[in-house]
Amino acid sequence: MFSPLNFLFGWMSSDLAIDLGTANTVLYVKGKGIVLREPSVVAVRGGRVLAVGTEAKEMLGKTPGNIEAIRPMRDGVIADFEVCEAMLRYFINKVHNRRTLVHPRIIISVPSGITQVEKRAVRESAESAGAREVFLIEEPMAAAIGADMPITEPTANMIIDIGGGTTEVAVISLAGIVYAKSVRVAGDKMDASILQYIKRKHNLAIGERTAEQIKISIGNVMPSEPYETMEIKGRDLVSGVPKTITIRSDEIQSAIAEQIEVIVDAVRLALEATPPELSADIVDQGIVLTGGGALLKNLDKLLANETGMPIIVADDPLSSVVLGSGKALDNFDILKEIAID
């Protein structure tokens, strides 16, 4: 039955879940699902915001001296408070079609190793951007809910969430985190290593965006012959002129080997620290892999080889965290249990 009151509340209901990532920010609106996914980049000139998100990312590494493309998130936490607030405000206004009266309740997912100071920074930037109430939930918990893991059951759910700034490894049981480890090694550090490797090995300077493209296109942690190849353009460091070279996937494997080792070690540590009763569950259930890093070719196979555990890649690894936060928005009882102070 149509009720004008329900319609009005439906129209006014503006609650949001935000996955405030180092690389990308994803917004979920209650009742609508994911409505926005854009890079966490802001272009600024003389303190004034020029562009946010995709438009600003296009400018990375290409801006004239007076325009700065800033990434306000580093290693999963806010590095530039004012720019982060401007970015959040822009995204919130964008999904609410610039209705300035909207003061949504917002859930934001944060890394599990976050400090009190960092939590306060996230809360304050969301409030300054117009939030009525802010709830924080830990990323691995959000990712587990988003990946449809039975987090409220008395069984162990192990999750590895590899984002842009952090890799989160957690064991969850009875809606609580039994063990969590957050390492600040993830997609961004891999991009930086690829950039350095190409500089060192081929005397070619490339930008962050090219490094990321290489990782997405031919990044593989267990490449086999014939190796995939990719043509890349950059600036020759010897002659100073633009140059095109071809690189192979085995080169990228060695470029990112150090980061992969850190992630594998974090998983091993988590398995060692898990109580024996729960370890038995992990053998049965397997470990779920989420986040953009889950898309790195053969990472699931490598982790399975290294841990002897079944590794399952989530259906939509890039959206697991925000979908989990969105489900918590829809279920206030769960939210009360898992929100952190």
CB 120 within 8 A of CB 302: no
- 177 and 280 both lie in a single domain: yes
User: Distance between CA 214 and CA 178 in Å, rounded?
Assistant: 36
- 90 and 162 both lie in a single domain: no
H or E stretch at 138: strand 133-138
User: Distance between CA 45 and CA 64 in Å, rounded?
Assistant: 10
Among 207, 227, 255, the domain-final residue is: 255
Average pLDDT of the residues of the chain = 89
| 147 within a domain of the structure (yes/no) | no
| 23 within a domain of the structure (yes/no) | yes
Whether residue 23 is annotated as binding a ligand: the answer is yes
Q: What is the dihedral of CA 75, 139, 316, 262, to 10 degrees?
A: 50
Evaluate the omega torsion of the peptide bond into residue 226 and state whether it is cis, within 30 degrees of 0: yes
| 44 within a domain of the structure (yes/no) | yes
Total domains, the chain: 3
Whether residue 47 is annotated as binding a ligand: the answer is no
Selection from 182, 181, 206, 180 nearest residue 193 by Cα: 206
CATH number of domain containing 100: 3.30.420.40
- 243 and 266 both lie in a single domain: no
Check residue 67 and give its pLDDT: 84
Among 233, 255, 277, the domain-final residue is: 255
Whether residue 294 is annotated as binding a ligand: the answer is yes
Whether residue 295 is annotated as binding a ligand: the answer is yes
| 177 within a domain of the structure (yes/no) | yes
- 97 and 223 both lie in a single domain: no
Whether residue 285 is annotated as binding a ligand: the answer is no
User: Distance between CA 62 and CA 50 in Å, rounded?
Assistant: 14
Least trusted range by pLDDT, from 46-50, 170-174, 287-291: 46-50
State phi, psi for 134 to the nearest 5 degrees.
-125, 130
Side chain identity at residue 267, one-letter code: V
User: Distance between CA 98 and CA 100 in Å, rounded?
Assistant: 6
Q: Residue 210: which domain range?
A: 187-255
CB 122 within 8 A of CB 269: no
Side chain identity at residue 340, one-letter code: I
Give residue 157's pLDDT band: very low, low, confident or very high (50, 70, 90). very high
- 191 and 292 both lie in a single domain: no
Residue 227: DSSP 8-state: P
What's the alpha-carbon Rg for the chain, to the nearest Å? 21
| 311 within a domain of the structure (yes/no) | yes
- 218 and 282 both lie in a single domain: no
Whether residue 165 is annotated as binding a ligand: the answer is yes
- 41 and 96 both lie in a single domain: yes
Between 8 and 184, whose confidence is greater?
A: 184
Whether residue 293 is annotated as binding a ligand: the answer is yes
Whether pTM exceeds 0.85:
yes
**Tens-place pLDDT, residues 84-123:** 989 988 998 888 875 656 688 999 999 888 889 989 999 9
| 150 within a domain of the structure (yes/no) | no
| 149 within a domain of the structure (yes/no) | no
Q: 81 pLDDT exceeds 60? A: yes
Beta-carbon count within 10 A of 50 CB: 16
User: Distance between CA 89 and CA 94 in Å, rounded?
Assistant: 8
- 161 and 292 both lie in a single domain: yes
Beta-carbon count within 10 A of 78 CB: 22
Whether residue 198 is annotated as binding a ligand: the answer is no
CATH number of domain containing 212: 3.90.640.10
Distance (Å) of CA 154 to CA 6, 112, 176, 277, 284: 37, 21, 10, 10, 14
Structure tokens at 83: 């720019």
- 42 and 135 both lie in a single domain: yes
- 173 and 301 both lie in a single domain: yes
Whether residue 22 is annotated as binding a ligand: the answer is yes
User: Distance between CA 91 and CA 148 in Å, rounded?
Assistant: 27
Distance (Å) of CA 116 to CA 85, 92, 120, 335, 341: 18, 25, 6, 20, 9
- 282 and 208 both lie in a single domain: no
| 293 within a domain of the structure (yes/no) | yes
User: Distance between CA 149 and CA 153 in Å, rounded?
Assistant: 9
Whether residue 93 is annotated as binding a ligand: the answer is no
Q: 3 pLDDT exceeds 70? A: no
What 3-state DSSP class applies to 79? coil
Check residue 10 and give its pLDDT: 43
- 73 and 104 both lie in a single domain: yes
- pLDDT (average), residues 136-146: 93
CB 103 within 8 A of CB 112: no
Distance (Å) of CA 74 to CA 60, 90, 176: 15, 19, 27
As a three-state string, the secondary structure of 16-68 is EEEEECCCEEEEEECCCEEEEEEECCEEEECCEEEEECHHHHHCCCCCCCCEE
